[in-house]
Structure 1
Amino acid sequence: NKHEYSDDTKYQRPNIPESVRIIVWKRDSGKCVNCGSRENLEYDHIIPISKGGSNTARNIELLCENCNRSKGAKIE
């Protein structure tokens, strides 16, 4: 598999378990699910923790910094 999990993403919330980060990285192929970028990736909560979201793989996706910043704390 040429897209191995990497924990050198720019921003990681310490409360997301490593096992979940690995699942999300592999599922999302190590790229932003919005634009496909492989740069400055961040783990994003689809439903923010502040709005009742969880730290499960079903609620976390990879986004690049730009896509994550444009999303903010909105639920799409």
Structure 2
Amino acid sequence: MRRSLSLLLIALCSSVAPAQALPGNQIPDDVKERCKADYAKLCSGVMPGGGRIIACFQAHKDEVSPDCRDALSKMKN
């Protein structure tokens, strides 16, 4: 579980931040927290980087929890 959470944090920092141009590659803590179960359930086998985690979430958009979906949508604003 600890490894999955670490991979999620690395993946979110490496794949979302550059696309969103967040300062210092910082992903909001609420996004990390609100999406970690979805990552473990849907995307834990996805190699981080290159936007693959976000692509996985998009591919499973009907399965992503409403809480995670809301957090991800707020990052796009």
What TM-score, normalized to structure 1? 0.34
Which has more strand, going by share of residues?
1
What TM-score, normalized to structure 2? 0.33
